[in-house]
Structure 1
Amino acid sequence: MRSDDAATGGTSEAVIPATKALRPRLAASLLLLDRSGDTVRVLVGRRNTKHVFMPDLHVFPGGRRDPGDHRIAFASDLPAPLIDRLVGIYRGRMSVSAVRALALAAMRELHEETSLAVGPPCSGILPFRPELDRLRYVARALTPPGHVRRFDTHFFALFTDEVELDLSGLQDSRELEDLRWVPVGDPSEVSIPDITARILQALHTRLDADPLLGFDGTVPYFHVRNGRPIRDLL
Structure 2
Amino acid sequence: MARQLDYHTIREIFTRFHAAEPEPKGELEHVNAFTLLVAVALSAQATDAGVNKATRRLFPIADTPEKMLALGEEGLTEHIKTIGLFRQKAKNVMKLSRILHEEYGGVVPNSRAALQSLPGVGRKTANVVLNMWWHYPAQAVDTHIFRFGNRSGVAPGKTVDHVERAIEDNIPADFQLHAHHWMILHGRYTCVARKPKCGACLIRDLCQFEDKTP
Task: Place the TM-score, normalised by the shorter chain, in its bin.
Answer: under 0.3
TM-score (norm 2): 0.25
Larger Rg: 2
Q: TM-score, normalised by structure 1?
A: 0.23
Instruction: From the two aligned structures, give the one with the greater strand fraction.
Output: 1
- State the structure with bigger RCO (CA 8 A, min sep 6), 1 or 2: 1
Which has the larger helix fraction? 2
